[in-house]
Amino acid sequence: MNFENTLSFAVEMDKNDALKGYREKFIYPQVNSKDVIYFTGNSLGLQPKVAKDYVDEVMKDWAELAVEGHFYAEKPWWDYHERLAKPLAKIVGAKPEEVSVMNTLTVNLHFLMVSFYRPTKKRFKILCEEKAFPSDQYMFNSQVKFHGFNPEEAIVEVKKREGEHSWRTEDILNKINEVGDELALVLIGGVNYYNGQVFDMEAITAAGKAQGAFVGWDLAHAVGNVELNLSKWNVDFAAWCSYKYTNSGPGNASGVFINEKYLGKEDIPRFEGWWGTKKETRFLMKPEFEPAVNADAWQVSNPPVLSLAPYLASLQLFEEVGMPALLQKQRLLTGYLEFVLNEIDKEVETVFEIITPKERGCQLSVFLHGEGRELFDKLMKAGVIVDWREPNVIRLAPVPFYCSFEDMYRFGQLLKELILSKK
């Protein structure tokens, strides 16, 4: 498509946008009595208006039914989490029985490591990307030390090449082959939080499996953002948070994927709890653990229903729209933002260097050479909510559910105005 950096072009794109009506289904913060331009759905998605109805429903059932809400609420609490499995399975490319919702992201990664990081004297190394999200780094370090290994020896980081901003798939595959039969686990963020790169999850999974390792993915920045086919790719496990692109609310529950080959097995190591037992016999209070036949076997405690309510509300919007439509708009919207930035770059002395490769979701990470934190602060005060990363990177995530083409145009004009006002 031939883009134009004009208001009339942006308005026309919005007019022809099949998803334009969904913009009105979200609540926007206000700055200077106007809706903000919101670019931080990669940190916290906007609140769907319907989320309050779902939460109020649970509160009403709690008030009117108290403990009986577990079985007699309109959406009984004891199986409330099951309602999320089917829509999530569509988003991550899995079967519903391979998906469950529980805990939070790093908690789930620790629990999943019990099953999928089983180091031996020979096979004990974990492969990840350099400068993984800090929580993942802490998790890796504590896990290998718990098993009695030295993190400096056990954790293998794949580095970017000197002077490059993204990883090359060939370098990751070569490193997997180099580590060989010492490799116990490959665990990488499917979409890098800093530069927005989407890794070739299919190729990396195949390479790790070929070396006899388990392969898992931290999908915090991927779920609801990029196309996923976890079952088809033969991924062993994955986990993700829900408050970014799936708009469930701050710090909300995490989702997990566990390949069907591991379901229903009683001999697989895992930390077990009451809610992981078979649903049919859970309330018989039997002393023996009988694992649920699906991914719920990894649940430990009963799910937090008040937290799951807004998550379910958001997933209903995904059910209405479908990932193909979201991905189609995402590509256009992110492409238009890239075009606008490149056009503005021609008009100002600041150099915009987009460090996100073409393998991306809806995030663009941009070096603002010659600019500092002051520009970020001015954008925020002007009603553009962006994310700042040292030393001078802003992360922009034009989420297709609630960002518009006019937002992209207006952002470009404001960015130009703020830069030129300093000259």
Mean pLDDT of 79-87: 97
The pLDDT, as a whole number, for residue 179 is 98
The residue to which tokens 């986990």 are assigned:
239
In this model, does residue 387 exceed pLDDT 80? yes
pLDDT tens digits for range 280-315: 998 889 999 999 999 999 999 999 999 999 999 999
Structure tokens at 2: 């031939």
396: helix, coil or strand? strand
Mean pLDDT of 151-179: 97
Question: Using 50, 70 and 90 to split pLDDT, how confident is the model at 422?
Answer: confident
Backbone angles phi, psi at 121, to 5 degrees: -60, -35
Q: Alpha-carbon Rg of the chain, whole angstroms?
A: 23
The pLDDT, as a whole number, for residue 349 is 76
In this model, does residue 89 exceed pLDDT 60? yes
Mean pLDDT of 373-391: 91
Give the Cα separation of 325 and 318 in Å (integer): 10
Give the relative orientation of helices 134-146 and 105-116 as an angle to the nearest 10 degrees.
40
pLDDT tens digits for range 187-196: 999 999 999 9
Give the Cα separation of 41 and 399 in Å (integer): 6
In this model, does residue 80 exceed pLDDT 80? yes
The pLDDT, as a whole number, for residue 423 is 56
- DSSP letter (8 states) at residue 358: S
State which H helix or E strand residue 199 sits in.
none
pLDDT tens digits for range 403-415: 999 999 999 999 9
What is the pLDDT of the chain when averaged over all its residues? 96
pLDDT tens digits for range 200-257: 999 999 999 999 999 999 999 999 999 999 999 999 999 999 999 999 999 999 999 9
Give the whole-number percent of the chain exceeding pLDDT 90. Answer: 90
Question: Using 50, 70 and 90 to split pLDDT, how confident is the model at 374?
Answer: confident
Give the whole-number percent of the chain exceeding pLDDT 70. Answer: 100
Give the Cα separation of 360 and 193 in Å (integer): 11
Query: Are 257 and 92 in contact, with CB atoms under 8 Å apart?
Result: yes
Per-position b or e across 105-140, b if 16+ CB within 10 A of its CB = bbebbbbbbebbbebeeebbbbbbbeebbeebbebb
The residue to which tokens 């800090």 are assigned:
134
In this model, does residue 372 exceed pLDDT 80? no
The pLDDT, as a whole number, for residue 259 is 98
Query: Are 9 and 304 in contact, with CB atoms under 8 Å apart?
Result: no
Spell out the domains of the chain, with CATH numbers in brackets.
7-49+322-420 (3.90.1150.10), 81-302 (3.40.640.10)
Residue among 3, 2, 1 at smallest CA distance from 408: 3
263: helix, coil or strand? coil
State which H helix or E strand residue 374 sits in.
helix 373-381
pLDDT tens digits for range 220-230: 999 999 999 99
Mean pLDDT of 329-352: 92
Q: Give the helix, strand, coil percentages of the chain, each rounded to 5.
A: 45, 15, 40
CA angle 415, 366, 163 (to 5 degrees): 145
Query: Are 182 and 123 in contact, with CB atoms under 8 Å apart?
Result: yes
In this model, does residue 122 exceed pLDDT 70? yes
Is the pTM here over 0.75, yes or no? yes
Query: Are 306 and 376 in contact, with CB atoms under 8 Å apart?
Result: no
215: helix, coil or strand? strand
